Amino acid sequence: LTDDEMICRRNSSKRKEPFSLSFYHGTMTKTEAQRILIQEPSGTFLLRMNEQNDFRISHKKSSRIKHIR
């Protein structure tokens, strides 16, 4: 790839909002996030919006699920 092609790819991959990200799940309670993550392998995470419209990351480590502000 040329430098111009690399710059073009990098610029086109920038996201201005989370809605296009595969790990963004929209508005979701922590209970709903737990229901999804309980079935997933350790290391799985999702980005969600809580009921107060704040972003949260919910992730599974071993058999525990944590929610980060």
* Tens of pLDDT, residue by residue, the chain (69 residues): 677 776 666 655 555 567 778 889 999 999 999 999 999 999 999 999 999 999 999 999 999 999 999
Do 39 and 47 form a contact (C-beta atoms < 8 A)? no
Do 59 and 34 form a contact (C-beta atoms < 8 A)? no
Distance between CA 57 and CA 69 in Å, rounded?
Answer: 7
In whole angstroms, how far apart are CA 47 and each of 29, 30, 66?
11, 11, 12
What is the C-alpha radius of gyration for the chain, rounded to an integer number of angstroms?
16
Model pTM? Answer: 0.70
> Looking at the chain, how many residues does it have?
69
